[in-house]
A and B are shown apart, each in its own frame.
Chain A
Amino acid sequence: MITAASTLVEIAFEICTALDRCGVQSVLCGGSAATFYTDGYRSRDLDFVITFGWNRDGAEKALTGLGFRRSGSQYAHAESSFTVDFPPGPLAIGADIIQTWETVRRGELLLHVLSRTDSVRDRLAGFYFWNDRSNLQTAVLVAKSGPVDFDTIRDWSRREGANDKFGEFIRALERSR
């Protein structure tokens, strides 16, 4: 049950599980995936990309069953201030389409979420494309929260033409340690 005290991650598990039960596969991404990996960044909304089985009626029913109501392009909850959004697919980071992710279980509940490495790439994309330095800071926090594949990030950065900014990310990471 979602209450005012529910954390973003707790709500993410509830939503992902409810959608999964009606045949809709969704993956937590964006800032909310970063929040899953680090307490240092607190997103205010949950972004799920639907990766399989989009069924508007089923999804709507699952969300209303949890107490969410549609409000414009988002879903809002009477008890919680967290909003839910479904950005258009496919699940991608820059030009890379993402086909694998983490699936985490907590008792009866499950959550599909970008891998830690892809969460770092996802935040870096905001820095690379929009020069958003808050995204750089979040990428550093996620990278510090556990093991990430720096070779994958370096290779992707090169393909996105962002070698210089990747270097800036590495320097920011080193400074923060």
Chain B
Amino acid sequence: MWERRRLKLFGSRRRTEVLLSVALLGETYARELARLLDAPLLSVQRVVDALDEEGIVAVRSFGKERRVTLNPRFFASAELRALLLRLAEGEMEIQQAVSSLRRSPRRKGKAL
């Protein structure tokens, strides 16, 4: 059976998906990533923790939420972001999933 080859450039498909999604979203959190990628939360959290440990992403706490971004203090942050955004152009499923999220502010009372 023909199987489409999916990019695993960053060690595993899950790790690659997480990085591509973080680059596209700018800022996100593990639960949102798990929902977008249709992946178990624990699996996504493990990937995020490992990337945090390596200094590739930064995780900051705001109340109960742990927000994830690419780490701007990583020395190759600009190049990594550019590479991820370029690679994401070939990832239609991830692009679509990310595009389904509404991020811009909506005035209170206004219909969604």
Contacts and interface: CB of A to CB of B under 8 A. Distances in A.
B90 to A, nearest CB: 26
Contacts of A94: 72-73, 75
B89 interface: no
Nearest to B79: A95
Interface in B24-55: 53-55
The bracket for how many chain A residues form the interface is: 10 to 19
B111 interface: no
Contact of A73 (B53, B73, B74): B53
B77 interface: yes
The bracket for how many chain B residues form the interface is: 10 to 19
Contacts of B55: 87-88
B78 A95 contact: yes
A10 B55 CA distance: 28
B1 interface: no
Interface in B57-80: 60, 72-78
Contact of A92 (B54, B60, B75, B78): B75
B75 to A, nearest CB: 3
A45 to B, nearest CB: 16
Contacts of B75: 90, 92, 94-97
B28 to A, nearest CB: 17
A130 B74 CA distance: 13
Nearest to B56: A88
A125 interface: yes
Interface of B: 53-55, 60, 72-78
7 contacts: A87-B55, A88-B54, A92-B75, A96-B75, A126-B73, A130-B60, A130-B72
Interface of A: 73, 87-88, 90, 92, 94-97, 125-126, 129-130
